[in-house]
A and B are shown apart, each in its own frame.
Chain A
Amino acid sequence: MKWVKFIISASITLALFYLLNFPVIEKTPFAIGDFANPYSGFWQNGEMIEEQLDDREIPGLQESVIVQWDNRGVPHVFARNAHDLYFVQGYLTARDRLWQMDIITRAGAGRVAEVIPERVEFDRYRRRTGMLYAAEMAVKAAMADETSRLAMEALSDGVNAWIDQLTPAKYPLEFKVLNYAPEAWSPLKSALLLKYMSWNLSARNNEVLWSRTRTALGDSVMSELFFRKPLNMKTIIPADNAWDFKPVEAPKAPDSLFSATMLAFENMLQPAPDLGSNNWVVDGSKTLSGYPILSNDPHLGLNLPSIWYEMQLVSPEMNVYGVTLPGAPGVIIGFNENIAWGVTNAGVDVMDWYQMHFHPEDPWKYRFGEEWREATPRIEEVHVRGEATIIDTIAMTHLGPVAYRANEESYTDAIPSGMALRWVAHDPSLEVKAFWLLNRAVGYNDFVEALSFYDCPAQNFVFASRHGDIAMHHNGKIPLRWKHQGRFISDGSNPAYEWQGYIPKAHIPYSKNPARGFLGSANQNPVTGNYPYQMYGFYATFERGARIHERLEEMNNITPEDMMALQNDNLNLHARSALPAMLASLQDEELSLFEYRNLELLQGWDYESHRDSIAPIIFKYWWDNFEKLIWEDEFSHPEFGQLKFPRKDVTIGLLLNEPDSRYFDNILTEDYPETLADILLLSFQRADLELSEELGQFSEDWRWGKSRGTDITHLARIPGMSRLALNTNGNRGIVNATGKTQGPSWRMVVALGPEVKAWGIYPGGQSGNPGSSNYDAFIDDWVEGQYYELIYLKSPAETHPDVVAKTILKGGGK
């Protein structure tokens, strides 16, 4: 009897232990006991762990460091030497953003499956595209450079000092949800972070699209629709810029252009269409103060925790303020007392795809010119949580890794099988040093020196100094090309297709102190045809660049508030260019009552993509249907399926300048040649149908802010940790390029002068903890287009009403 009782009780206890100690719920990574435990589980991730950081001794710190905290949670770090500065940057960033740092570097390295086993194919894809390899190359270069090494190692030590004092109860919430522990940081992880950004900003494969389109439609259609002069383009570098250098000779083109064996690809690696970074600068002749004002709003996919972390970093040799990438040393976009700088993506093509010709009997030999070359095997071990490790062997050629062999199925149909991937980010480079120098720059020459170390991802660097200089550099490591080289899939066996060198840094497109007094970039074409090198890429159409240009040209006595207004400018230049011509062709009597209502809304529209306006959504549906009706017939291919349509400005050009173009006819209907007017009417009618199908009866729900909406999602998409359906202004192709999932990731305006002043905001909060009110504290103000004045302290003793706390970090010996 005793035994029976004991066994029953013990079984219940054991069952409880089992159910609570292991992740027993399907698709739930955590164990209930760990997660619900009020002493170490999620309960501990409230604002208690956010509380004021106590003064403390930190082993590894050399001297005392003073941190002043402002009321938005921005740390202002005052260190006595560079080592301590980057050490504390690492320490504080880890305090606020440790999980984000971990998961992004896992995504970069292809190590997500160690946490989330379902992501194993994603990891293999990352390894096979050479992401880990690229980071290893970068670390090797950085360790050989004194400053990069100092910054990366000090930051790494600081992150690890934070991790070392963490108890499991203090792990960030996501570690508890996903049931894993933080691991030590290293310079490799900082490199992975930068490679992750490089991939996002420069991994493009237009050549797949263009090869396919060329095979399907022929060279004449390519020239007519794809390689035409971009419409209404205001290039980044003023069109009248004189190129006062002797260009390096371009490599010799092959006799005829290679045609790749085409497979059906569905997707492209390409920028999300809603993206649209801007930066611009005006010199003293255009401003009220007589000193330059610099503005930058880099746009990225919007996530929580935010991609940016605001900091002020001060040492005896510098005092820099701006946004940092959590896990990378230094400030990425910001200002010091002398200069300010900002970036937009350059979009220039720095990634080429080569169709490889492997030996029929030996898969490790590939043809190159007259010889067979040897590919080097690179072994990648992909660890998977709870499962066996996968070992992949990648063929590394001198043209880059072969991501997928011809007989292997690619992870994504955007990556062609059987091709080698040549990418600038695979080469060693010293971006960390570039930011080190930028943070300390005093004048224009320092800026140029800093950029000489910056290779990838190529960016449009805008610059201003208190001495009055302004500049824009389309900067990066850009291959020298013959005409059309790398536009299509290249022949990996023909040496003519190999990169033969790079455009010298002194020859990259730039402009300094132009007579017109302003410079701006919005991801558009950097130069006109008079630039002596072949350069192309994934450039934005005219709208944002032209709008910024027209506003800056007409504005004078500019104040910082004017620049904030321009960052929030909602004028839709696409609609302003195309809509009058579209409306002119519609006849009232052809329209139903509902369609007539839509027509009136469009006729009364001021082209502002304002959240309360209904016209933007009607225009969007009309335009999308219009485009589809023009191109769908010609651009459907029996073998390749749907081809990518020509750019928007090509369609606008046809509408405005070639109303009799043959493309308006639907080639699938034989009886009747459709005209532009037919297509406009039909698409207008379809738009109304689709609108009521997708948004329901005409109502408040059609308002732009509601029907488009903006989502800021949690990085791991953990439910409940995102901010969804935000009521925002703006749209793609608009200076305020706010889309459904993309938008301005940091808005900054810097007024230079004897006393630098700056304003900024990003859609998130300083804390990465979803249980903190600082997690999403800035989002509501960001939606409203507001800014915070950035507190730029001169000394640790300076007082400011918004500086609310102070921490002293003391060295704990070596």
Chain B
Amino acid sequence: MIVLLLIVLIFALQFFTPYWWWVIVVPLIYGLLIARSGWRAFGAGFLSGGLAWLLMSVYTAKNGGVLVLGRVNNMLNLPPDSFVMFLVCAGLGLLCGGFGALTGYLLKDLFRNSDDASEVSLG
């Protein structure tokens, strides 16, 4: 549920503004305000960031974006029908979302009593 909400939020903010970094900031705020554990924060951020970017890249490619993808692949010395850019897109989303959310959570954690934090820890 939270993942879906995050995806919608990332989608909306990225759709209406040109900033790529919502994929860090939205999960970070989620981590800071909502997440109950570091693992959960990381997991939800990871999934929502990755999906938000992967789904959109697939959607644009499906809707007339094949030619431009081929041109960009060409520019980057990849074969025109390469899938690498989808992986890059998904990978960036995953990393940004995951570490954004985790950082948010860990920031919150710094200001909590250690007792409250007993149930959560990462690594």
Q: Which A residues fall within an 8 A CB radius of B?
A: 2-3, 5-6, 9-10, 12-13, 16-17, 20-21, 32-34, 36-48, 50-51, 167-169, 173, 177, 718-721, 769-773, 775
Q: Which residue of B lies closest to A43 (CB)?
A: B60
Is B56 a contact partner of A38 (Cβ separation < 8 A)?
A: yes
Nearest Cβ distance between residue B89 and chain A, in whole angstroms? 6
* A10-B103, A41-B20 given; A20·B92 CB < 8 A: yes
Determine how close the nearest CB of chain B comes to the CB of A271; give it in whole angstroms.
32
* Inter-subunit contact A36/B88 (CB<8 Å): yes
- List 29 A-B residue pairs with CB atoms under 8 Å apart, sorted by A's residue number: A2-B106, A2-B117, A5-B109, A6-B103, A9-B102, A10-B103, A10-B107, A13-B103, A17-B24, A20-B92, A21-B20, A32-B92, A38-B53, A42-B72, A43-B56, A43-B61, A43-B68, A44-B65, A46-B60, A46-B61, A47-B63, A48-B64, A173-B68, A719-B74, A719-B77, A720-B71, A720-B74, A770-B68, A773-B67
**Given A20-B92, A770-B71, do A3 and B18 touch, yes or no (CB 8 Å)?**
no
Q: Which residues of A contact B103 (CB under 8 A)?
A: 6, 9-10, 12-13
> Could you say which of A6, A16, A47, A720 contacts B72, with CB atoms under 8 Å apart?
A720
Q: What is the CA–CA distance of A20 and B53 in the complex, to the nearest angstrom?
A: 14
In the bound complex, what is the Cα–Cα distance between A589 and B96 (angstroms)? 77
Tell whether A168 pairs with B71 under 8 Å between CB atoms, given A9-B99, A36-B92, A771-B65.
Answer: no
Interface members, chain B 76-123 (any A CB < 8 Å)? 76-77, 85, 88-89, 92, 95-96, 99-100, 102-103, 106-107, 109-110, 114, 117, 122-123
- B37 sits at the interface (CB 8 A): no
Q: Which of B38-78 contact A (CB under 8 A)?
A: 38, 53, 56-57, 59-61, 63-77
In the docked arrangement, what's the CA distance between A167 and B16, Å?
A: 9
Cα A431 to Cα B61 in complex, Å, equals 44
Q: State the Cβ distance, B91 to closest chain A Cβ, in Å.
A: 10
Residues of A within 8 A of B114 (CB): 2
Nearest CB in chain A: distance from B80 CB, A: 8
Contacts of A32 in B (CB 8 A): 92
Answer whether A6 and B75 are a contact pair too, CB < 8 Å, given A33-B92, A38-B57. no
Residues of A with C-beta under 8 A to B26: none
A44 vs B65: C-alpha distance when bound (angstroms): 7
B21 and A6 within 8 A (CB): no
Tell me which of B21, B24, B99 has the highest count of chain A C-beta atoms within 10 A of its own C-beta: B99
- Please, which residues of chain A bring their CB within 8 A of the CB of B61? 43, 46
Q: Could you tell me the distance between the alpha carbons of A44 and B61 in the complex, rounded to whole angstroms? A: 9
Q: How far is the CA of A167 from the CA of B19 in the complex (A)?
A: 11
Question: Counting CB contacts under 8 A, is B7 at the interface?
Answer: no
Instruction: Give the number of residue pairs across the A-B interface with Cβ within 8 Å.
Output: 139
> Within the complex, what minimum Cβ distance (angstroms) separates B121 from chain A?
8
**Once the chains bind, are A177 and B75 in contact (CB under 8 Å)?**
yes
Min distance, Cβ B6 to any Cβ of chain A, angstroms:
15
Contact B75 A718 (CB under 8 A): yes
Chain A residues with Cβ below 8 Å from B15 are: 39
- Give the residue among A3, A6, A43, A168 with the most B Cβ atoms within 10 A: A43
Residue of B whose beta carbon sits closest to that of A169? B18
**Contact in complex: B64, A40 (CB < 8 Å):** no
Cβ distance B53 to chain A, nearest Cβ, rounded Å: 6
**Residues of chain B lying within 8 A (CB to CB) of residue A40:** 14, 18, 20
Residue B35 CB within 8 A of the other chain: no
Q: Identify 17 new A-B residue pairs, CB closer than 8 A, beyond the known A6-B103, A39-B20, A46-B60.
A: A2-B110, A5-B106, A9-B106, A13-B100, A20-B96, A32-B92, A38-B57, A38-B59, A38-B89, A39-B56, A43-B68, A44-B60, A46-B65, A719-B75, A720-B73, A721-B74, A773-B67
Q: Which residues of A contact B38 (CB under 8 A)?
A: 5
Question: Could you tell me the distance between the alpha carbons of A51 and B64 in the complex, rounded to whole angstroms?
Answer: 10
Determine whether the beta carbon of A168 is less than 8 Å from that of B18: yes
Shortest CB-to-CB span from A329 to chain B, Å, is: 31
- A43's partner among B65, B106, B109 (CB-CB below 8 A) is B65
| Residues in chain A near residue B68, CB distance under 8 A | 42-43, 45-46, 173, 769-771
Chain B nearest Cβ from A746, distance in angstroms: 24
With a CB–CB cut-off of 8 A, which chain B residues contact A51? 64
Partner of A771, one of B67, B92, B117: B67
Please, how many angstroms separate the alpha-carbon atoms of A751 and B100 in the complex? 67
Within the complex, what minimum Cβ distance (angstroms) separates A597 from chain B? 39
Closest residue of chain B to A44 (Cβ to Cβ) is B60
Q: Which residues of B contact A17 (CB under 8 A)?
A: 21, 24
List chain A residues, Cβ under 8 A from B11.
39
Alpha-carbon distance between A278 and B123 when the two chains are bound, in angstroms: 76
Of all A-B residue pairs in the complex, the 3 with the closest CB atoms, nearest first, are: A771-B68, A720-B74, A47-B64
How far does the alpha carbon of A42 sit from the alpha carbon of B64 in the complex, in Å? 12
* C-alpha spacing A129/B39, complex, angstroms: 65
CB pair B122–A5 under 8 Å, yes or no, is yes
In the complex, chain B residues whose CB is within 8 Å of the CB of A20: 20-21, 92, 96
Contact B95 A10 (CB under 8 A): no
Structural contact, A2 and B109, CB atoms closer than 8 A: yes
CA separation between A5 and B107, bound complex, in Å? 9
A720 to B68, CA, bound (A): 10
Nearest to B38 among chain A residues (CB) is A5
* Contact residues in A for B71 (Cβ distance below 8 Å): 173, 720-721, 770-771
Please name all residues of chain A whose beta carbon is closer than 8 Å to the beta carbon of B72 when the two chains form the complex: 42, 720
Q: A21, B106: Cβ atoms under 8 Å?
A: no
Query: Residues of B contacting A43 with CB < 8 Å?
Result: 56-57, 60-61, 65, 68-69, 89
- A39 touching B14 in the complex, CB below 8 Å, given contacts A2-B110, A173-B68, A177-B75: yes
Cβ contact within 8 Å between B117 and A13: no
From B64, B76, B96, B107, contact of A46 by CB (8 A):
B64
Q: Which of A2, A5, A37 contacts B20 (CB 8 A)?
A: A37
Most buried by A among B63, B92, B123: B92
A460 to B71, CA, bound (A): 39
Contact partner, A47, options B57, B67, B70, B92, Cβ 8 Å: B67
Task: Report which of B14, B56, B75, B99 forms a contact with A13, defined as CB distance below 8 A.
Answer: B99
> Would you give the shortest CB distance from B111 to chain A, in whole angstroms?
10
Query: Which among A38, A42, A772 has the highest number of chain B CB atoms within 10 Å?
Result: A38
Residues of B within 8 A of A42 (CB): 68-69, 72
Chain B residue with minimal CB distance to A5? B106
Residue from A5, A37, A50, A775 within 8 A of B14 (CB atoms): A37
The one of A9, A10, A167, A721 that contacts B75, using a Cβ cutoff of 8 Å? A721
Known A16-B95, A33-B21, A38-B89; judge A772-B67 contact (CB<8 A).
yes
A52 to chain B, nearest CB (A): 12
CA distance A721 to B65 in the complex (A): 15
Given A2-B109, A2-B110, A39-B56, A46 and B21 contact (CB-CB distance below 8 Å): no
Bound: A169/B53 CA distance, A: 15
A653 to chain B, nearest CB (A): 48
Q: A39-B56, A43-B60 are in contact. Are A34 and B20 (CB under 8 A)?
A: yes
Q: Which residue of A lies closest to B11 (CB)?
A: A39
A12 close to B56 (CB less than 8 A): no
Task: Point out which of B11, B85, B103, B122 has the most chain A C-beta atoms below 10 A from its C-beta.
Answer: B103
Q: Complex: how many Å from CA A20 to CA B72? A: 18
Give the complex CA separation of A16 and B91 in angstroms: 12
Q: Would A6 and B106 be within 8 Å (CB), given that A37-B14, A38-B53 are in contact?
A: yes
> Closest CB of chain B to A517's CB: distance in Å?
48
Q: Which residues of the other chain, B, contact A21 by a CB distance below 8 angstroms?
A: 20-21
Tell me which residues across on chain A come within 8 A of B63, comparing CB atoms.
46-48
Q: How far is the CA of A472 from the CA of B32 in the complex (A)?
A: 77
Whole-angstrom distance between the alpha carbons of A36 and B65 in the complex? 13
What A residues does B117 contact at CB under 8 A?
2
Max chain B Cβ within 10 angstroms of own Cβ: one of A50, A720, A772, A775 = A720
Shortest Cβ gap from A200 to chain B (Å): 27
Chain B residue at minimal CB-CB distance from A50: B64
Closest A residue by C-beta to B92: A36
**Quick one: which of B64, B76, B100, B107 contacts A6, CB cutoff 8 A?**
B107
Chain A positions within 8 Å of B64 at CB level: 46-48, 50-51, 771
Interface pair B92/A48, CB less than 8 Å apart: no
